[in-house]
Amino acid sequence: MTGNGARDTNGQARTMAQIAELAGVAESTVSRALAGSRRVSEETRSRILSLVEASGYRINSRARSLRTQKTRTIEVVIPISEANRQHFSDPFFSQITASIADALAEHGYDLLLSRACPWTDVSGADALTSNRADGVIIIGQGRDPEPLVRYAETHKNVIVWGVDIPGRNYAVVGGDNFLGGKLVGEHLLSQGRNRVVFFGDIRYVDIGLRHRGCMSALTSAGASQDQTLTLSMPFDSASAYQATQSLFRSGAWHDAVFAASDLLAIAAMQALADLKIRVPEDVAVVGYDDIAMAAYMTPALTTVRQDTTAGGRALVENLLTIIDGGARRDIHLPTELIVRRSCSAK
């Protein structure tokens, strides 16, 4: 018990009862004073406040949340499986997590970070049902929509970063992935490129849309199906590097790579450089996300911006509205192509 950090401040009040005793009032009065209720006189309040100050007392948030049935905590779930090799340190995840953290802090909420899907995990780690969080933000829908739908059936305070899919019963925030892909396709065409390879696992709903958007732009401009190639791969740099190597080892027939994320695009650029294939002269490379580092690549990476700052804020504000009993609502974020050197004309 002595190991409990919370008990280690030297002396003074640890509980409201002790503050009440010191102030010569009842616990309820202390509680009201701290809560800013007008039912306690200014004089009593300031006396209590200075005692609180002096003793370094902090309200016990466990006890409070047991009583109030609110935790003022939101769980952020990054659904990561071994299979897809996606990692929390993918800058996209950490950027959006950072902006979620900021937005939550502004609203006085804590952030519980979780890497396991609550609907997968049988060990009872679900923060919502175990009363550790008031709501859940889920980053990404994954490949199989079914479990998430089932989860959302019994859990109302949920919001998802992702796309609109049929049968969905939860609110989503996200950009227009089809449009993103389409913008890339059109830009590639405008640069005289139509022999495009797509990198990414199109079974993920959002990735699939990016893929279809790009392909539709290409084919509607007359590019034939067999000029394009889709290479399915997980989300890690190594996969993209190897895929690029084996595809381009014997020279470049394709003239552009469109990767499902900047991380993949960067690895592809490196592989091309190692093969002495020039970017963008021989092969153009386009990514997705516009992570902070994309602008600092050599050549700088052309990519589709997902505004993580706006995204994080939108997720948080939307979720808090839902928690407060407001209506569930989707938010569509602008989708914008950021043209940089990695994809200029031949």
Tell me: does residue 17 bind a second copy (CB under 8 A).
no
Told to check if 214 binds a second copy by CB under 8 A, we report: no
Number of residues that bind a second copy (CB under 8 A): 77
Q: Which of 25, 49, 59, 333 binds a second copy (CB under 8 A)?
A: 59
Q: Which of 98, 149, 165, 331 binds a second copy (CB under 8 A)?
A: 98
* Rounded distance between C-alpha atoms, residue 278 and residue 258, angstroms: 16
Q: DSSP letters along 59-123, please?
A: --HHHHHHHHS---EEEEE----TTTT--TTSHHHHHHHHHHHHHHHHTT-EEEEE-S-TTT--S
Angle at 40 between CA 36 and CA 43, to 5 degrees: 100
Closest CA to 201 of 287, 270, 142: 142
Angstrom distance (rounded) from CA 7 to CA 204: 48
Residue 336: which of DNA, a second copy, none does it interact with, CB under 5 to 8 A by kind? Answer: none
Angle between the N-to-C axes of helices 42-55 and 16-23, in degrees from 0 to 180, rounded to the nearest 10:
120
Q: Taking CB within 5 to 8 Å according to partner kind, which of DNA, a second copy, none is near residue 31?
A: DNA
- Closest approach of Cβ 148 to DNA, in Å? 26
Q: Which residues bind DNA (CB under 7 A)?
A: 14-17, 20, 24-29, 31-32, 34-35, 38-44, 59-60, 63-64, 66-69
- Identify the residue among 20, 22, 127, 172 touching a second copy (CB under 8 A): 127
- Specify the residue, 98 or 333, whose C-beta has the smaller distance to a second copy: 98
- Binding to a second copy by residue 136, rule CB under 8 A? yes
Cβ closest to DNA, residue 55 vs residue 94: 55
332-345 burial, b at 16+ Cβ within 10 Å, e below that, comes to ebebbbbbbebbee
> Which residues on neighbouring strands pair with residue 305, listed in sequence order?
289, 336
Q: How far apart are CA 314 and CA 104, in angstroms?
A: 11
Per CB under 8 A, does 157 bind a second copy? yes
Q: Is 246 in the site for a second copy (CB under 8 A)?
A: no
Please tell me whether residue 69 binds a second copy under the rule CB under 8 A: yes
Does position 220 bind a second copy by CB under 8 A? no
- Binding partner at 16 among a second copy, DNA, none, C-beta below 5 to 8 Å by kind: DNA
CA distance 270 to 266: 6
Site stretch for a second copy (CB under 8 A), options 7-15, 35-43, 163-171, 185-193? 7-15
* Amino acid at position 156, single letter: K
